[in-house]
Structure 1
Amino acid sequence: MLSEQAAPVVRATLPAVGGALDEITERFYAGLFAARPELLRDLFNRGNQATGDQRKALAGSIAAFAGALLASPDTRPDVMLARIAHKHASLGVTSEQYKVVHEHLFAAIVAVLGEAVTPEVARAWDEVYWLMANALIALEARLYQERGVAEGAVWQPMEIAGRREETTDTASFTLRHPDGRPTAAFRPGQYVSVQVTLPDGARQIRQYSLSAAPGRPEWRITVKRVEGDPAGEVSSWLHAHGRVGEQVTVSAPFGELVLPEGDGPLLLASAGIGSTPMLGMLDHLATTGTSRPVTVVHADRSPAGHAHREELLRLVDALPQGTVHLWYEEPGATDAAQGRADISALDLPEGVTAYLCGPLPFMRTVRGDLLARGVAASDVHYEVFGPDLWLGTTA
């Protein structure tokens, strides 16, 4: 909880700090990478740094966390940090790294705000930082414990057992342990991090959803090739070099967009490569013979560009109460509508729980339509590939 002494100081200074967060986070990352260049080379996503998305996500998370503390001073908003904790765990982040972040973040705050950072202000925002950091450390420790690994020890060598070209720019890869032992269990909808060594020696990491059900002898990921350097470094490497027999370094599975227990109705809505966690969920539902109502919505550019299209149709067809609604931007598909997905007129059952994955504009539109139809905000869940630029805007 936020102390009685800190709360009024944070409330009074939040507009100034919030207004300067973009500059603060820019200075923070510059200072951090100047002192610890290996973090940019081997841990942080160089593509997200180049676009500024990681800076925006950090600023948004700090502002959202501070705002939540002020709204409810007696509670710590751990729920809003769950997605960050899963991402950190998939990267092998350790508690010691929060001390390094603290050092460079507060140096950036002082550099930007100058004399406005009085000892009282510094103490108050130090409290905010460690409330957030300790919440994440605790959540990540629990995730490591659940996975049965030491803090940060999430990495393992895996071998590409199979490769399939799904579209002209998307390929799926099956992964297995080189020694033949079974792959670890995971929950449908979760993802793994994949680390590859690039020509300049950097070990860059990206996250990919597990696009098939758990319980199989191998994991499967589906990778869309992203154009541009450094944004597409890992996907381009996998498309160019990810051949059967090649070894890659892969994390344990993490992610909090997972199917709920029970038999309640579900809406799985995706666009583009956002279909991959939904495929894992659908595969699990079909494999376990569920009878729960499942409505599937997917939007894509064209049938030819829709990765796993036939598989998705087959999985929905295997569900006794499964229905699918497709939208393609290009005309000509006889089993789909043209244009962008529109769920406003769909027949959704009472008490539906929704899962969304795709570009932010798509998810914002679908979420807004669901809320307008009376679906509770707590029943709408989402997954973001990359920094969560939506944090703090979906309450």
Structure 2
Amino acid sequence: MNETAKRARAVIDLAAVRSNVRTLRDRAPGAELMAVVKSDGYGHGAVHCARAAREAGATWLGTALPEEAFALRAAGDTGRLMCWLWTPGGPWGKAVEQDIDVSVSGLWALREVVAAARACGRTARVQLKIDTGLGRNGCQPADWPELTAAARAAEAEGALTVTGVWSHFACADEPGHPSIAAQLASFEDALRTAGAAGLRPEVRHIANTPATLTLPHAHYDLVRTGIGIYGVSPSPELGTPQDFGLRPAMTLEAALASVKRVPGGHGVSYGHLYTTPGETTLALIPLGYADGIPRHASATGPVLVAGKWRTVAGRIAMDQFVVDLGGDSAQEGETAVLFGPGDRGEPTAEDWARAAGTIGYEIVTRIGTRVPRVYVGSGIRSGAAEAEAAEGDTAFTGGTA
């Protein structure tokens, strides 16, 4: 184990990732599954998690940025791969050359990808996005006939193949929300328009993780699962990970850097937001907001130390925070668990989300690069030897089946 990992580490259970992918596939048996590994696999490590997802039957990978997609290709992935967040002047040509499906939401993007395809002498793989009501990226319905007609003309020329038509729900994590039916109706209209233009996409998709779990009529040909493959619920109102048969894949832990007795009335951390009520023991955890621990969880964030839940005492600083052990004792170097699956009594990412007034997505994705990822559950070895061997990203092995 490297020296940094002795301070703190995020242990990523790849067996949990594989299990989660299989569970989500079972929820959508008639559709293919895309494992979304944007933002470095939601903080879990894109290359390792992509490989695990492929092993569990994910036929597609998805990223937001082109650079994320290129990194997967560089690591050896040769399967179906989609990238959707583009800006003018982006590396369209490189994406075309690497057989990456690119998303197009407007005529400017269509023009750029066609020019790139012509320049490199290859046929681009394009997925057209319709804005059915989320209001972010995607072509407005009023402009959709023009975009689909232009895409069909470019397809007839041989510059591109329209491989997909897709959209994104706004409120799929709120079952019964009226926008869900409205977006599905808009999506059906868009599909009819695309068909009338002569387009025959390979995949039609609108379902994200919550829709995969709760809206079987929205699965179409492909479901895009992001947070679910990492075992985090898309919303506590929808259900816990356990409710859906999912297991959180990340456990964040650190070694206690200091344990000391202090008198009552002792101020703790910046601003003395917390003052000890009496003589007590303080333990120092060497993680802070520079590592992704939310400062908004000062005085509320939960940590498992010496077998019990503790609460952050005072403000979370850049590199460290304190917990009050009361009458209990601990030793320097002893492990503190900030969050994990919860089955050993530790807090979960959702517990931290509640403490910080945010969502589980943000808790796992914000864990920074100062915290090494240590991978277990690869199926190659077990225990500490496997964890130590798996630190850092490695290339794909064994293909993309």
Q: Assess same fold via TM > 0.5.
A: no
TM-score, normalising length from structure 1?
A: 0.26
Higher helix content, 1 or 2? 1
TM-score, normalising length from structure 2?
A: 0.26
Tell which structure's C-alpha radius of gyration is larger: 2
